[in-house]
Structure 1
Amino acid sequence: MTLIYGHRGAKGEAPENTLVGFQTCLEHGVRRCELDLHLSRDGELMVIHDPTLRRTTGRRGKVAEQHSADLINVDARHGGPGHIKPAPIPTLDELFEKCPFEHWQLEVKSASRVRAARTVQAIEALATKHGLLDKITVTSSSREVLRALQRLTPNISRGLVAEYAWIDPLKAAKAYDCSILALNWTLCTPERLLKAQKQGLHVSVWTVNEAALMRRLADFGVDSIITDYPGLAVRTLQR
Structure 2
Amino acid sequence: MVSIIGHRGGRNLWPENSIEGFRKLLELPVEGVEFDVHLTKAGEMLVIHDPTLDRTTERSGAVAEFSLGENHKVRLKDNGGTIPTLDEVLDVFAGSAIELHVELKADHERKPYPGLEAKVAAMLDDRGMAARSIMTSFLPEVLATIREVAPHIRTLSSFDAKSVERYGLTEGLRRMLDLSDIIAIERHVLDQNWDTIVDLVPGDRLGAWVPNDEADIAYWLGKPIRQITTDRPDLAVALRGA
Q: Could you state the TM-score of these two structures normalised by the residue count of structure 1?
A: 0.88
Match of 1:186 in 2: 188
Q: CA deviation at 1:48?
A: 0.2
Q: Verify the 8 A CA contact 1:117 1:148 in the aligned structure 2.
A: no
Q: Secondary structure at the match of 2:116?
A: helix
> Does residue 228 of the first structure (1) align with residue 222 of the second (2)?
no
Residue pair 1:46, 1:68 contacting (<8 A) in 2 also: no
Gaps of 5+ in 1: none
1:102 maps to 2:98: yes
Identity of aligned residues (%): 29
C-alpha displacement of 1:68: 3.9
Instruction: Tell me the TM-score normalized by structure 2.
Output: 0.87
Cα distance between partner residues in 2 of 1:25 and 1:48: 17
Aligned to 2:17: 17
Matched residue count: 231
Find the aligned partners of 1:201 and 1:118 in 2 and give their Cα distance: 30
Farther-moved stretch of structure 1 (93-102 vs 17-26): 93-102
Distance (Å, rounded) in 1 between the aligned partners of 2:196 and 2:42 = 42
Question: For the aligned residues, what is the CA RMSD?
Answer: 2.1
3-state SS of 2:228 partner: strand
Q: Which amino acid aligns with 1:225?
A: I
CA distance in 2, matches of 1:57, 1:101: 30
1:63 partnered with 2:63: yes
Q: Note the alpha carbon deviations across 1:3-60, whole angstroms, 9 max, x for none.
A: 1000000100110000111112111222410111101222121100011111111312
Check whether the contact 2:3–2:31 (CA below 8 A) recurs between aligned residues.
Answer: no
Equivalents in 1 of 2:200, 2:206: separation in Å? Answer: 7
Q: Is the 8 A contact 1:75 1:87 kept in 2?
A: yes
What amino acid is aligned across from residue 63 of structure 1 in structure 2? V
Matches of 1:102 and 1:24 in 2, distance apart? Answer: 13
Q: Can you give the 5+ residue segments of structure 2 that lack an aligned partner in the other structure? A: none
Query: 1:89 pairs with 79, 83, 89, which one?
Result: 83
C-alpha displacement of 1:220: 1.9
2:48 — aligned with what? 48
